[in-house]
Amino acid sequence: MRRGLVLVLSAACLTGCGGGSSSASSRLQTRAARICTAANRRLEQDRPRQSHYQAFLGDGLAVLEPELRRLKSVRTVASDQAVYADALGALGREITEVKRTLSGLDHHQDPALAFAALQRRLAPLESQANAAWRALQIPACVNR
């Protein structure tokens, strides 16, 4: 999602310009940053529940899924579409991996092993998304 989730997973989970019209890119940057900033705030509020693995991941999904839906509704200029699609695709795959981990935990998988595996699966997806967000110059959406 993400930002808060990465911290949990670690413990247990601007260079390029997108080109195109500067006003359209500026609108994309403003709208996407607003969406990601709101999601970041919600994830930060969930931190006290980190000891409850399933609840924490569920809370993270409750933030990330609406964030992805909102980000998908943001219009982009043609020159930004491929990079934006890469960012959204990586975020979607991160959500899929969190759901996969939740399923494992529901089937009594060891939480330490589940979180370690999730962290390994998320790392390349987060790198892909971060590269896209940086290229689009939307630091609010970069995983921390």
Angle (CA) 72-7-94 rounded to 5° is 35
Confidence grade of residue 81 (pLDDT, cut at 50, 70, 90): very high
Model pTM above 0.75 = no
Q: What are the residue ranges spanned by the domains of the chain?
A: 3-10+19-141
Closest CA to 98 of 60, 127, 136, 63: 60
Question: CATH 1.20.81: does it fit domain 3-10+19-141?
Answer: no
Closest CA to 2 of 35, 26, 27: 35
pLDDT tens, residue by residue, 29-65? 899 989 998 888 877 765 544 447 888 899 899 999 9
